[in-house]
């Protein structure tokens, strides 16, 4: 099951898409107005369906705007058939396009093909707003500028970021990052979090929140 985002100014089209994909076991969020979209939440989707002709902001412009925040496939939905429009869509960061009107089976087949490919590919980045984790190099960037975290600070940040919104106690963080063989104790986590916050604060970011009496979470 995948989490899919569909954006189209035609409500009937969105309802059709949602019904088709729900039958395949997917969860679908729909938006008529792309300006209502919270871009900080967009990285949670496994695939995005994006209409090109929309009021407020067109699909190609929106794709350019969100492309660096997501590594999931973006498939354009368009009534346009001109080669120039298709090329512009793909150059903006789109992965594929489906021309309206489309058949149920065509839509399902295209989506399933992209989701299968995504499962085969190893994702190497985690994007949360302006913050990007490079999971291969174990580095964090804010607006493409590297944040100099220590190994322990990176591990704590990645743990919290991968489970955004989930609260972890200091003891849980210590065990998951350092294991049972660690040479310090859970109180060291507070100091690490303090240092992490100071480094992110320099860039105007405050991603780690304290849940009093419990522990910490990534906002």
Which stretches of 36-85 are assigned E, i.e. beta strand? 47-51, 74-78
Number of domains in the chain: 2
pLDDT at site 154 = 95
Same domain, 81 and 138: no
pLDDT at site 6 = 97
pLDDT at site 178 = 78
Yes or no: say if 177 and 159 are a contact pair by the CB < 8 Å rule.
yes
Q: Give the span between the Cα atoms of 140 and 1, in whole angstroms.
A: 29
- Give the 3-state secondary structure of residue 168: strand
**Per residue of the chain (219 residues), what is the pLDDT tens digit?**
899 999 999 999 999 999 999 999 999 999 999 888 887 788 889 999 999 888 889 899 999 888 877 878 999 988 766 667 777 778 888 888 888 888 889 899 989 988 888 765 556 788 888 999 998 889 999 988 999 999 999 999 999 998 889 999 999 998 888 775 544 567 889 999 999 999 999 999 999 999 999 999 999
Same domain, 131 and 99: no
Q: Quick one: DSSP state of residue 161?
A: H
Same domain, 56 and 129: no
Q: Supply the range of the domain harboring residue 200.
A: 125-218
């Amino acid at each position: 099951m995948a989490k899919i985002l569909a954006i189209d100014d035609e409500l009937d089209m969105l309802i059709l898409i949602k019904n088709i994909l729900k039958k395949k076991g997917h969860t679908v969020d729909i938006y008529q107005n792309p300006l209502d979209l919270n871009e900080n939440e967009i990285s949670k989707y496994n695939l995005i369906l994006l209409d090109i002709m929309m009021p407020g902001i067109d699909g190609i412009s929106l794709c350019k705007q969100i492309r660096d925040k997501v590594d999931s496939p973006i498939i354009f939905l368009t009534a346009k058939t001109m080669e120039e429009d298709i090329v512009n869509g793909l150059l903006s960061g789109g992965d594929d396009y489906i021309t309206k009107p489309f058949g149920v089976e065509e839509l399902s087949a295209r989506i399933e093909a992209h989701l299968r490919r995504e499962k085969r590919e190893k994702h190497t980045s985690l994007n949360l707003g302006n913050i990007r984790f490079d999971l291969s190099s174990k580095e964090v960037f804010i607006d493409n500028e590297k944040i100099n975290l220590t190994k322990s600070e990176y591990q704590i940040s990645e743990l919290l970021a991968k489970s955004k919104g989930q609260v972890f106690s200091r003891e849980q963080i210590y065990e998951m990052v350092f294991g049972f063989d660690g040479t310090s104790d859970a109180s060291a986590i507070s100091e690490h979090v303090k240092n992490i916050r100071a480094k992110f604060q320099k860039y105007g970011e405050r991603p780690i929140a304290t849940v009093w009496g419990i522990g910490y979470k990534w906002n």
